[in-house]
Structure 1
Amino acid sequence: MQKQLTGKKIIITGASSGIGEKLVWRIAEAGGTPLMIARSISKLTAIKKRIWEHYQIESYVYEADLLVKKDREAVIEFILIEHEQIHGLINNAGIGKFAHFLEMCQQEMDNMFELNVHALIQMSKRFLAHFDSFNEGHIVNIASQAGKIATPKAAIYSSTKHAVIGFSNGLRLELKKTNVFVTVVNLGPVQTDFFQTADPNGTYQENVSQYMLNPDKVAIKIVNHLFESKREINLPLWMEIGSRLYQLFPVAFERILQKQFTKK
């Protein structure tokens, strides 16, 4: 049964492509109102037009580079002025770079923490105050299975997603007695443009192509759990089982799966 989101206004960051764009479509299909944030206003405007043509659903577009703090502050203020009530926030925007730690430049590392962690926390804090005033809302943070199992060439990326998981769990517990929900989404590799930056040579994509998740199926799963008290969404299931076993037997897992851990 499809989730019904009529009357719900939901912010999606990184909405111009990949999981973000699929979330926009699935939210509109369910009758919700997508509020899209991304750097490319032309892409967002094109999506907005197609959404109206397909579903006669109004959507809103906001141009912002969430890597830039003043851009984040500006778009937050504009949205809060333009809309009386926002119901949900999906922190989807993120960036990754797969490389050995010593080979990474400081700017690459700073960018990952700025977008994956600092921007996500700032967006959550500002809109949480808004949700709290209505005693209603849902924050969905897109993390990664990499936040549970770190691998070579992903030390920084994994640490940012580990931070997202920790933040989400702590915040969820703080809000336990309210009607504001927090869900963290831990994904394996997904077929998106993320890898254009993370893996420009295509080595990792080639090695894991048979395991890659379909972004539309991910979006459906997330949308079906909006405005529910859902602790985590973990995909694929076999990877989540592996991550739980890893927590119990880390040394054995690292030895047995050494080849799989070095696919990057």
Structure 2
Amino acid sequence: MSFERLQGKNIIITGASGGIGAEIARECAQKGANLVLLARSIDKLEDLRTELLSKTSITVDVYKLDVSDTNAVKAVFTDILAKLGHIDILVNNAGFGVFREAHETTIDEIKSMFNVNVIGLMACTSMVVPGMRERRTGHIINIASQAGKIATPKSSVYSATKHAVLGYSNSLRMELNDWNIHVTSVNPGPIATNFFNIADEQGTYVKNIQRFMLQPEYVASRVVDRMLTRTREINLPRWMNAGSVAYNLFPRLFERLGKGAFNKK
């Protein structure tokens, strides 16, 4: 069914140069969607564009964009809208994290994480919402994290950014409900991508939780399958999401019993 839903749709994906962003692009291309791929690495985007065009007859546009530069976001999205006319789906995937204890995280790192993970996401969203409201249709998919539901040591700032994304998404969903615009939060656990090249410089966390890591292809398929449907959240894996539910119900007990698991970084 997702093939018919997505055929000919215009989809923007931020952070599309690798990881789940690139995998979402591949899945969407197979289903006949036209793509706009955004990332800081234009070379990787061009390589992905060549790959997709060699296998499909869709259109693929690529733009170099750092979403933390709100002026650049406005300029790039204005160009995209002028060219395509409208956007059916926006996937806000760009983001990064740095795993350090709160007092060791520099102010520059804090600002950078919020500028990319939160402000950038909001800036991109604000550029497509007016057109979606006018057409009374659309879908905004925000890649958040289980870290936005369960905060753990050494991820205080990253978790704070993802808490912000969830709060923003929940409010936005209610604002846009009467306009037939869907808003979905995607909350995955750790994914086997180059995210951890920055987040986990020592490799300790990856080594400790490698057997539990999700594959980007799996996450991407779950996201694409729910495009243009009224899906509130996608939580992966299910057992980890069950932990977030328990955390909300019994936070003190959960933190005490989960102390060993939380200190894997």
Q: Same fold (TM over 0.5)?
A: yes
- Partner residue in 1 for 2:75: 74
Offset of residue 2 of structure 1: 4.7
Deviation at 1:67, TM superposition (A): 2.0
What pairs up with 1:241-260 in 2 under 5 angstroms?
241-260=242-261
Matched with 2:204 is: 203
Which residue pairs with 1:91 in the alignment?
92
Q: Is 1:146 paired with 2:150?
A: no
Pairing 1:189–2:193 present: no
Q: By how many angstroms is 1:221 displaced?
A: 0.4
| Contact map agreement 1:10 1:90 (CA 8 A) in 2 | yes
TM-fit CA distance, 1:56: 2.2
Equivalent residues, number: 264
RMSD value, Cα: 0.9
- The corresponding residue for 1:158 is 159
Give the match for residue 261 of structure 1: 262
The whole-number CA distance in structure 1 between the counterparts of 2:149 and 2:65 is 30
CA distance in 2, matches of 1:192, 1:257: 25
- State the partner residue of 2:7: 6
CA offsets, 1:173-214, max 9 Å, x none? 111222111000001000111111111111111111011001
Structure 1: which 4+ aligned runs deviate by more than 6 Å? none
Q: Which residue of 1 aligns with 2:46?
A: 45
> Structure 1, unaligned stretches of length 5 or more?
none
Separation in 1 of the partners of 2:176 and 2:225?
21
Residues 71-111 of structure 1 show CA distances to partners (whole Å, capped at 9, x for unaligned) of 21221111111111211100000010000111111110000
CA distance in 2, matches of 1:229, 1:12: 19
SS of the residue corresponding to residue 68 of structure 2 reads coil
Any conservation in 2 of the 1:183–1:233 contact (CA below 8 Å)?
Answer: yes
Residues 3 and 223 in structure 1, CA contact (< 8 A), matched pair in contact too? no
Moved more, 142-151 or 41-50: 41-50
After TM superposition, the score normalised by the length of structure 2 is 0.97
Greater mean alpha carbon deviation, residues 174-183 or residues 93-102: 174-183
User: What percentage of aligned pairs have identical amino acids?
Assistant: 44
Partner SS for 1:181: strand
Alpha-carbon separation, structure 2, partners of 1:50 and 1:230 = 30
The residue identity in structure 2 corresponding to 1:46 is: D
> Where do 5+ consecutive residues of structure 2 fail to align?
none
SS in structure 1 at match of 2:12: strand
Q: CA deviation at 1:69?
A: 2.0
Matched, 1:31 2:32: yes
